[in-house]
C-alpha cells in the first residue's frame, strides 16, 4: 500500500485548515445521485493530524479491487473517524434527489464524534452543523473527500449487490441502478420494483406512460 507524501497536493486543504486552528476536518462526498434505483449514500472521513494517509484518489478513477483495499486501510487507520448515511428511494421521491443528497451528507456528519470543519465535494450544502468549504471536484483535491468518496461508493455498491439477490431480473450487481441499456430493457420487461425511484422519468414513464403524440397530417 502506498501512502501520501507530506507535501502531496491532496493534503493542501487539510493542512491549510489545520494551520487555521481546526483539529477535526471531515471530507464529505456522495454517491448515487444519478441512478434510477436504490439510495443515495454519503460518507464523511476525518483523518487525524500527522497520520500516514493512504494514497487515495477519486473513487471513479479506481477499480473495484483498489476501492476495496483502500476502504479497509482507511477504516482501520488509527485515530480515523468515519461515518456513512443512506437516504432511500422513498425519501428521494418525497423531497427530490438534491435535498436527499444534502440530507445524507448532514446525517453522515452528525454521526461523527468530533468535527469542527467540513470539506464538501461540489456545491455548498445548506444546514450543515459546522463551518464548511465547498470544493468543486473535491475528490481530486482533498484526501479526506477522496476517502469519503471511496467509502460511499463501496457501501452503495454492496447495497446494490444485495438488492440484486432480491431482484435478480434487473442486473443491479452490474449497473448498480444506473440507467444502462440493460437496466432500461429490464424495466420495460419486468416493470418497476420496490427500490426504483418513481420520480425519475424512465421509471415514472413505466408507471404512467406519456400520452401518444398525435400524428400530423
Q: Is the pLDDT score of 169 beyond 90?
A: yes
Q: Is the pLDDT score of 213 beyond 60?
A: no
CA distance 200 to 187: 13
Categorize the per-residue pLDDT at 177 as very low, low, confident or very high, splitting at 50, 70 and 90: very high
Domain boundaries along the sequence of the chain: 9-161
Is CATH 3.40.718.10 the right assignment for the domain spanning 9-161? no
Contact between residue 154 and residue 170 where contact means Cβ atoms under 8 Å apart: no
Q: Is the pLDDT score of 148 beyond 60?
A: yes
What is the distance between the terminal CA atoms of the chain, rounded to a whole angstrom?
Answer: 68
Residue 195: what are its φ and ψ, rounded to 5°?
-90, 5
CA distance 179 to 165: 19
Span 107-128, pLDDT tens digits:
999 999 999 999 999 999 999 9
CA distance 191 to 167: 12
Amino acid at each position: 500500500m502506498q501512502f501520501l507524501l507530506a507535501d502531496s497536493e491532496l493534503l493542501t486543504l487539510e493542512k491549510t485548515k489545520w494551520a487555521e486552528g481546526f483539529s477535526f476536518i471531515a471530507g464529505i462526498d456522495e454517491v448515487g445521485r444519478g441512478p434510477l434505483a436504490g439510495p443515495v449514500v454519503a460518507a464523511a472521513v476525518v483523518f487525524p493530524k500527522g497520520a500516514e494517509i493512504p494514497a487515495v484518489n477519486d473513487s471513479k478513477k479506481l477499480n473495484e479491487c483498489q476501492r476495496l483495499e483502500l476502504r479497509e486501510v482507511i477504516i482501520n487507520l488509527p485515530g480515523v473517524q468515519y461515518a456513512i448515511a443512506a437516504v432511500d428511494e422513498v425519501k428521494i421521491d418525497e423531497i427530490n434527489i438534491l435535498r436527499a443528497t444534502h440530507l445524507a451528507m448532514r446525517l453522515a456528519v452528525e454521526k461523527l464524534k468530533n468535527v469542527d470543519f467540513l470539506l464538501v465535494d461540489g456545491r455548498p450544502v445548506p444546514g450543515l452543523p459546522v463551518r464548511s468549504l465547498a470544493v468543486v471536484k473535491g475528490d481530486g483535491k482533498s484526501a479526506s473527500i477522496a476517502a469519503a468518496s471511496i467509502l460511499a461508493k463501496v457501501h452503495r455498491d454492496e447495497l446494490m449487490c444485495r438488492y440484486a439477490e432480491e431482484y435478480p431480473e434487473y442486473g443491479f450487481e452490474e449497473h448498480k441502478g444506473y440507467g444502462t441499456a440493460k437496466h432500461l430493457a429490464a424495466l420495460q420487461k419486468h416493470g418497476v420494483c420496490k427500490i426504483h425511484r418513481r420520480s425519475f422519468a424512465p421509471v415514472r414513464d413505466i408507471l404512467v406512460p406519456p400520452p401518444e403524440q398525435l400524428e400530423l397530417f
